[in-house]
Amino acid sequence: MRILFLITAFVFVSTCVPVFAAEETFIVETTVADADTTPPTAPSNLTATPISTSRIDLAWDASADDVSIAGYRVFRDAVAIATTTATSYADTGLTASTTYSYYLDAFDPTGNTSSSSVAVATTTRAETVTNTGGGGGGGNVFYLDSLEIVPNEYGVRIQYVTRSSLRGVVRWGQSAAYELGASSEETFSRTHETVLTGLLPGTRYLFSLEGVTPSGGGQVIIESSFTTNTLDDTTPPTNPRAFSGTASGTDVVLSWLNPNDSDFASVRIIRSDRFYPLDTADGWLVYEGSGTSFHDVDVLAGGTQYYAIFAYDIHGNISSGAVTAVSPEGAPSVSETPPDEEGAPYSVGPLEFSFADLIFSQDGERRFVSDDNTLVVDGGKPVTVQLPYNLAPEALKAAVFQARMQNEDGDDTLFLLRADEDKEFYTATIGPFTEAGITSAFVVMYDFLNSQVGYVRGLIDSRFVTSDGETGEVAVDAPWFTTIPIVLRLSIFVCIVVMLVIVTYSRRKASVVQM
């Protein structure tokens, strides 16, 4: 029994070992997947346009890649001269009347390089140009010593020096008729400068330079063209619509509608098993392309999967993202949809803002929430939603704008509200509602534990533009005659009344004659 006593005491004593320090060493490991090895396709349709004596403009069609295009290398006479992410390049500092050959290739973020494009060659403009009537050389008064054309987004500066003192006249247009105008100098000089403004970005214009002598004689010196610069687009595209996923065994079938933006390029879908991916680096890239569906194979064995879809435009701008979560069949959905019935609260949780504090806009014009917490929108146009940064909860991880839009199964579509760099707004631009009607919309807040902090609710009344130009006044399912302009409707009404009066009067007159 003494042994039993000692053993029992030992067991208890041995659990409380006195030490000076305790230490645990362990390994933290992370795995980086293999890099991309597929090169992009070669750039196509390369064109080279001589702009002046020292400049040639290049343009080409974008390459394609399974990940993305990181840029293009431009080669002049087989020597790399520039790298650009755009699909155009202005090569300057060239020599007049010289032929240059160009080609380019594309590379992806991994460094895979495409094959070279088809080479093109062109010649810079001659340093001096004479009119058709001139004999050339120094004796011709209508002689250009130099010409420089410097376009910007909305205009161009044309500088030129003539051999003789002339009064310059510039005519321009989008055709050889120079239909857009003429600019005439008031004084005679050898140096000339004409600045044209009010032009369209990225547009080709034709122009002519005409010289007028003091004696009144005038002739065209040169006819040429220029292209205004394209705008630096920093506006993100509209988010994809109707982004939803369904479980099929352990697979997930995703579908969506791409935005209608003219510069839309592709979408990327990111997957995470933790929470909605908040940006394009917050999880696995599972799809990139311009399709409208994707089958994600054998992923639900790991439980609920969260997806975010981001739209890209050709300038690299990224939308704020639309999100969805897919749980294994039979498992409860993680999408906690706030109540949507009549009488449901308009605000839940410790939030310091209401639905009316959100800033909605369409085509750059703000749309205000009415006193009954309803927002009227043009159902045919995208809607931008903004939450002022200072109104959001302090410990905010994500803000999601949730609305019932066109969707195959009628579920809500969820959009991420992304904070801008200046931390002024959380913003999302969503596609047109496309259907008339009233639906609930929510802004739902999540904290860093991925739990809902609260939400605000409002109503969105989607309407459509009428033929008389009034926006949001008549629903698309309104009676057919409401689409007829009111003036025309009044005219028809007056005509009918007049005809009825005439018929009635005629019948009455006929009956009087019979009597």
Partner 1 sequence: MRLEFIYSSIIAGILTGTSLCSLSSVAAQVMQSASYQIQSDSINVGGGLSSSSNFELESTAGELATGESSSSNYELKAGYQQMQEVFLALTGATAVSLSPTLPGVTGGTANGSTTVTVITDSPSGYQLTIKAEGSPAMQKGADTIADYTPSGDPDFTFTTGATDSHFGYSPEGVDVVQRFLDNGTDTCNTGSAETAGACWDGLTTSAVAIASNTDANHPLGATTTVTFRVGIGGSVLQPPGTYTATTTLTALPL
Q: Which of 59, 62, 67, 180 binds partner 1 (CB under 8 A)?
A: 67
Q: How far is the CB of 388 from partner 1 (least distance, A)?
A: 15
Interaction between residue 234 and partner 1 (CB under 8 A): no
Interaction between residue 316 and partner 1 (CB under 8 A): no
Q: How far is the CB of 14 from partner 1 (least distance, A)?
A: 4
Q: Which is nearer to partner 1, 18 or 216 (CB)?
A: 18
For residues 21 and 160, what is the distance between their CA atoms, to the nearest angstrom? Answer: 84
**Total number of residues that touch partner 1 (CB under 8 A):** 56
Q: How far from the centroid of its chain's Cα atoms is residue 493's Cα? A: 46
Interaction between residue 109 and partner 1 (CB under 8 A): yes
State which of positions 382-441 bind partner 1 (CB under 8 A): 394-395, 397
- Determine phi and psi for 258, rounding to 5 degrees: -75, 150
For residues 501 and 481, what is the distance between their CA atoms, to the nearest angstrom? Answer: 24
Q: How far is the CB of 4 from partner 1 (least distance, A)?
A: 5
Interaction between residue 293 and partner 1 (CB under 8 A): no
Interaction between residue 481 and partner 1 (CB under 8 A): no
Signed CA dihedral, 329, 239, 407, 460: sign only: positive
Q: How far is the CB of 248 from partner 1 (least distance, A)?
A: 22
Count of CB atoms within 10 A of residue 265's CB?
Answer: 19
State which of positions 241-280 bind partner 1 (CB under 8 A): 270, 272-274, 280
Give the Å distances, CA to CA, from 12 to 3, 6, 9, 286.
14, 10, 5, 54
Q: Which is nearer to partner 1, 18 or 138 (CB)?
A: 18
Those residues with Cβ within 8 angstroms of residue 196's Cβ, 6 or more apart along the chain or in another chain: 155, 156, 157, 158, 170, 172, 183, 205, 207
Q: Which of 325, 334, 317 is nearest to 268 (CA)?
A: 317
Q: Which of 85, 98, 101, 111 binds partner 1 (CB under 8 A)?
A: 111
Strand-pairing partners, residue 205, are 226
The amino acid occupying position 455 is Y
Contact of 346 with 458, CB cutoff 8 Å: yes
What SS3 class is residue 512? helix
Interaction between residue 9 and partner 1 (CB under 8 A): yes
Q: How far is the CB of 358 from partner 1 (least distance, A)?
A: 21
Stated as kind and residue range, the H or E segment containing 218 is strand 218-227
Q: Which of 40, 236, 237, 283 binds partner 1 (CB under 8 A)?
A: 283
Strand-pairing partners, residue 313, are 264
Q: Select the span of 102-110, 323-331, 363-371, 495-503 touching partner 1 (CB under 8 A).
A: 102-110
Interaction between residue 350 and partner 1 (CB under 8 A): no
Q: Which is nearer to partner 1, 448 or 505 (CB)?
A: 448
Interaction between residue 301 and partner 1 (CB under 8 A): no
Q: How far is the CB of 284 from partner 1 (least distance, A)?
A: 6
Query: Would you state the structure tokens that stand for residue 385, as one six-digit string?
Result: 């939603």
Q: How far is the CB of 291 from partner 1 (least distance, A)?
A: 18
Q: Which is nearer to partner 1, 188 or 284 (CB)?
A: 284
Q: How far is the CB of 447 from partner 1 (least distance, A)?
A: 8
Interaction between residue 31 and partner 1 (CB under 8 A): yes
Stated as kind and residue range, the H or E segment containing 222 is strand 218-227
Task: Name the DSSP class of 391.
Answer: G
Those residues with Cβ within 8 angstroms of residue 351's Cβ, 6 or more apart along the chain or in another chain: 393, 445, 453, 454, 455, 456
State which of positions 151-210 bind partner 1 (CB under 8 A): none
Q: How far is the CB of 269 from partner 1 (least distance, A)?
A: 12
φ/ψ region of 222 (left if φ > 0, alpha if ψ in -120 to 50, else beta) reads: beta
Interaction between residue 1 and partner 1 (CB under 8 A): yes
For residues 444 and 340, what is the distance between their CA atoms, to the nearest angstrom? Answer: 13
Q: Which of 144, 430, 448, 498 binds partner 1 (CB under 8 A)?
A: 448
Interaction between residue 12 and partner 1 (CB under 8 A): yes
For residues 320 and 279, what is the distance between their CA atoms, to the nearest angstrom? Answer: 8
Q: How far is the CB of 302 from partner 1 (least distance, A)?
A: 10
Q: Which residues bind partner 1 (CB under 8 A)?
A: 1-2, 4-36, 67, 108-111, 270, 272-274, 280-285, 394-395, 397, 447-449
